[in-house]
Amino acid sequence: MPKPSAINHAMQKYGEYLTRHGLKSTVQREIIVNEFLRTKGHLSADELHSRLRVSHSSIGLATVYRTLKILAEAGLAHERRFKDGYSRYEYTGPDGMHHDHIVCVGCGQVEEFENKEIETLQRQEAEKRHFKMLDHKFEIYGICRQCQERGGE
Amino acid sequence: MPKPSAINHAMQKYGEYLTRHGLKSTVQREIIVNEFLRTKGHLSADELHSRLRVSHSSIGLATVYRTLKILAEAGLAHERRFKDGYSRYEYTGPDGMHHDHIVCVGCGQVEEFENKEIETLQRQEAEKRHFKMLDHKFEIYGICRQCQERGGE
DNA sequence: TTCGCTGCAAACCATTTGCACCCAT
DNA sequence: ATGGGTGCAAATGGTTTGCAGCGAA
C-alpha cells in the first residue's frame, strides 16, 4: 500500500483535474479513486468493481470504467494491456515514475522492474525525433523459471 | 517491400511450421501470407482483408484472423496493440530482429526505431529473472513535432 | 477417406453509451 | 436550477467460434 503522503498528493492532483475540467466530485468517484490508489498492482475495471462490491454494492461497473478513464487522463493511472484481453490500470506513485513489466506467457505472472539506463535511452530516442514524450510502455514476454522447469509444450 | 530472399525465407519457415503442427497448406493461406509478407507496416486483420478483397473477394475475414494467428505463432508476425483498439501485425524480417515504436497520440503516426543498447539491457533484465525471453514490446507515446507546432491540448 | 480448412453467420465479451433520474455546485 | 453523474440495460465492435460443406494429404 502506498504511503499516505503519496495518496494525499494523488487525491490533490485528482481534485485539481476535476476542477480544471468542470467535472464534479461525487461519493462514488471518491470511493473508487480511494480504493484504486491504495491497491497495489494491475487492476482491471472488473476487479476493482468486485472489490468495491463488498462494501459498496450499488456502484455500477460503468462508473468504474468512467472513473478509471478520468484517472488515466489526469495522469494518475497508466493503462496497460497485457495478453488476457483486459485493460489494466496501475497507480504509479507521485513522481510519475513507472516501472516496466516482464510477463510470463505460461502462467501469466507479471514481474516489475526499473532500469534507469533504459529510461534514459528512451528519452534520447524521443528527443532525437522531436517528440514530446508523455508515456511509455515496455513489456518483455517470456517463460518464467517455474514454467520452464514444469516443462512446456 | 522486403527483399525477395527475405520473403522466401519466411515462406519456408511458414511451411515448416505448418508441417510440424499437422496443418495444411491452402490457397487462401498462401494468398494471405504472401500479401502480409510483402506489405510493410502495421496491418490489422481488417486492413489486410480489405487489401485482398480487391483481387480475391471470396476470402473471409475469419480466415484472415486465423492465418494471422498462425503467423504470430510461427514467429513471423509480431502482434502490436497501439491505442486504436485494433490488433496490428507486423512482419519483422528473417532475422527475427524487431524495432520499437514511437507513437504520436495527436495524429496517430507511428515511427520506428532500433536501439541495440536497449535490446541488450532488456535481455539482461530477462536473464536476471531467469526468464526465457520470447518477445518484447516497447512503445513510446508522445506528441510529434507537427502536432506540437499545430498547438492543441 | 481422413481431418483440417473455409465462409458465413451467430456468439463472445470487454467496453461504451442512451436514458431517466439524482445530486453537487 | 443547471448540467454533469449514476446505474441499468442495451448497444458496440473487434475477434472468435459452430457448422456444413470443401479440399489437401
Q: pLDDT class for B151, splitting at 50, 70, 90? A: low
* Nearest-CA distance B58 → chain A (Å): 30
Nucleotides of C under 7 A from a protein CB: 4-9, 13-18, 23-25
Q: pLDDT class for A152, splitting at 50, 70, 90? A: very low
For the stretch B33-72, pLDDT in tens is 999 999 988 999 999 999 999 899 899 999 999 999 999 9
The answer to whether residues B142 and A131 touch, using CB atoms and an 8 Å cutoff, is yes
* Confidence (pLDDT) at A72: 95
State how far the Cα of A102 lies from the Cα of A114, in Å rounded to an integer: 11
State how far the Cα of A93 lies from the Cα of A34, in Å rounded to an integer: 14
Residue B95 has pLDDT above 70, yes or no: no
Nucleotides of D under 7 A from a protein CB: 3-9, 13-18, 23-25
Q: pLDDT class for A96, splitting at 50, 70, 90? A: low
Pure H helices in A3-76: 4-20, 27-37, 45-55, 61-73
* Confidence (pLDDT) at B98: 72
Residue A63 has pLDDT above 60, yes or no: yes
Tell me the residue type at B152: G
Mind listing the domains of chain A with CATH numbers? 1-94 (1.10.10.10), 98-153 (3.30.1490.190)
Round and report the angstrom distance from CA (B26) to C1' (D23). 9
Average pLDDT across chain B, whole number: 90
B4 or A43, which is more confident = A43
Residue B96 has pLDDT above 70, yes or no: no
* Nearest residue on chain A to B82, alpha-carbon basis: A81
